[in-house]
Amino acid sequence: MPRNEIAVLERAYPPFRQSIPDAYQELTDEQAVEKIGPVRERLGRSLLILGHHYQRDEVIQFADHRGDSYGLAKKAAGDREAKWIVFCGVHFMAESADILTADEQTVILPDLQAGCSMADMADIDQVEEAWERIASIVPEEQVMPIAYMNSTAALKAFCGRKGGAVCTSSNASGLFDWAFARRARLF
């Protein structure tokens, strides 16, 4: 099955590599800055660093691209030279980039503890339970699931399995029109 199909979204996340070794985590900011330049130079175009708008200046200064989560994921997918993509953001952002990039590209989340309170609001088990409850009252084919971009890959996959979609803040209105043209209710 091709990588970008829904089954990929359902695999265990995070799909990221091991935690950063202690030796690097113990570096001062100044020591880290000294090490980044030579590594970037050595890796050249095979390294792409993405920085979300909310990152500290100490991180953003190294970003090849700065932006919102979806825009950065699209930048990663469009950069076929990058073998390693370091996403300075949170889990759902790196998941999105991993979904959109090619199999031979590796997405790395530097801080495995980086989470998003918005993405954490919708636990997939709770969402599936709520869907089952709704489906016991209203026929499932009348309900369109929609997830916001700031959600986990598991939640996005759920929406895909149920014929729904994922929206961003800029396309939510149009997506709601699309959804209501197909089903009577939104979830």
pLDDT digits (tens, 9 = 90+) for 4-50: 333 333 343 444 445 667 787 788 888 888 888 898 899 999 999 99
User: Does residue 104 sit in the same domain as residue 78?
Assistant: yes
Write out the two tokens for 4. 């970008």
Distances (CA, A) of 43 to 21, 69, 84: 19, 24, 9
Q: Is 178 part of any domain?
A: yes
User: Does residue 76 sit in the same domain as residue 148?
Assistant: no
User: Does residue 26 sit in the same domain as residue 66?
Assistant: yes
pLDDT the model gives residue 82: 96
Domain of 139, in residue numbers: 119-186
Read off the CATH number of the domain in which 87 is found: 3.40.50.10800
User: Does residue 126 sit in the same domain as residue 160?
Assistant: yes
pLDDT the model gives residue 12: 38
Quote the CA–CA distance of 82 and 67 in Å, as a whole number. 18
Give the pTM: 0.76
Number of domains in the chain: 2
Mean pLDDT in the chain? 86
User: Does residue 135 sit in the same domain as residue 174?
Assistant: yes
pLDDT the model gives residue 130: 97
Q: Is 10 part of any domain?
A: yes
| Position with higher pLDDT, 11 vs 105 | 105
pLDDT above 90 (res 73) = yes
Write out the two tokens for 27. 């570096």
Q: Is 113 part of any domain?
A: no
- Which of 108, 137, 163 is the C-terminal boundary of a domain? 108
Q: Is 76 part of any domain?
A: yes
Q: Is 47 part of any domain?
A: yes
With the C-alpha atoms ordered 113, 115, 121, 122, is the resulting torsion angle positive or negative? negative
User: Does residue 15 sit in the same domain as residue 38?
Assistant: yes
Model confidence at 161, in pLDDT bands (50, 70, 90)? very high
Q: Is 1 part of any domain?
A: no
Query: Count of CB atoms within 10 A of residue 137's CB?
Result: 7
pLDDT the model gives residue 56: 83
Q: Is 114 part of any domain?
A: no
